[in-house]
């Protein structure tokens, strides 16, 4: 036994979870063994079993944390009251912030493929989330704020594809103004909301031949 693996176990479930999520994101869930987790956490495999039933419980806890964050947004008053387009904008901004706040957890959530029961449940909840956003898009079209030619389901998928893609490249230290986390969130969320609602076209430009 190495000096590292013999270290006294000062982990909580939450601190162990943070380590596990990092390892899952680097090696892939399927590619991670309990041995890998024990090494990364600096404790023995049997110490891990004092905290959780095993690898799948860690996965379940991690994706549940990510999903609970997203669903919380849908239940906040500004997501439930007022014009649907305004609620949609709120949901987009807040899910960007949630995603950035819980970056490793949401990254893991977006990579689950349905190989285990925990993964299939997570995919089911993601579909439910998409469905609720598609309803919001449909309402905003009915209220006349969004273009009538939009397909609500396709639009919901594209918009959340865009939000989710932040996990692929967003690194807190690289972005934002003055290095503050708050500014980070809102600069990226502003750019994303502007793209979703108004696109990149300069409204003052004369129409370029052959351009969109």
Footprint on this chain of a copy of itself (rule: CB under 8 A): 25-31, 82-83, 85-86, 89, 110-111, 113, 115, 137, 141, 144-151, 154-155, 157-162, 164-166, 168-169, 188, 191-205, 208-212
Question: Is residue 67 packed enough to be buried (19+ CB in 10 Å), middle (13-18) or exposed (0-12)?
Answer: buried
Decide whether 16 or 188 has the Cβ nearer to a copy of itself: 188
Under 8 Å between Cβ of 34 and 54: yes
Reading the block at residue 177, the tokens are 């103004």
DSSP class of residue 204 equals T
The least distance separating a copy of itself from the CB of residue 8, rounded to whole angstroms, comes to 30
Decide whether 3 or 204 has the Cβ nearer to a copy of itself: 204
The least distance separating a copy of itself from the CB of residue 145, rounded to whole angstroms, comes to 5
Max CA-CA distance within the chain?
71
The least distance separating a copy of itself from the CB of residue 143, rounded to whole angstroms, comes to 8
The least distance separating a copy of itself from the CB of residue 72, rounded to whole angstroms, comes to 21
Under 8 Å between Cβ of 38 and 45: yes
């Amino acid at each position: 036994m190495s000096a590292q693996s013999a270290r006294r176990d000062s982990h909580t479930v939450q601190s162990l979870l943070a380590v596990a999520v990092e390892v899952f994101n680097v090696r892939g869930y399927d590619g991670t063994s309990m041995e890998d987790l024990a090494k990364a956490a600096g404790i023995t495999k049997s110490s891990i079993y004092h905290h959780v039933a095993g690898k799948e419980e860690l996965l379940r806890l991690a994706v549940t944390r990510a999903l609970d964050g997203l669903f919380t947004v849908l239940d906040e008053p500004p997501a439930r009251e007022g014009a649907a387009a305004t609620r949609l904008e709120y949901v987009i901004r807040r899910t960007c912030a949630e995603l950035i706040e819980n970056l490793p957890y949401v990254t893991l959530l977006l990579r689950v493929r349905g190989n285990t029961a925990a993964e299939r449940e997570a995919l089911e909840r993601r579909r439910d989330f998409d469905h609720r956003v598609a309803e919001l898009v449909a309402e905003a079209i009915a209220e006349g704020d969004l273009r009538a030619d939009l397909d609500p389901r396709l639009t919901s998928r594209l918009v959340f594809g865009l939000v989710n893609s932040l996990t692929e490249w967003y690194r807190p230290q690289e972005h934002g103004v003055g290095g503050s986390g708050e500014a980070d969130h809102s600069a990226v969320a502003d750019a994303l909301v502007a793209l979703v609602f108004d696109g990149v076209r300069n409204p003052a430009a004369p129409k370029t031949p052959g351009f969109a």
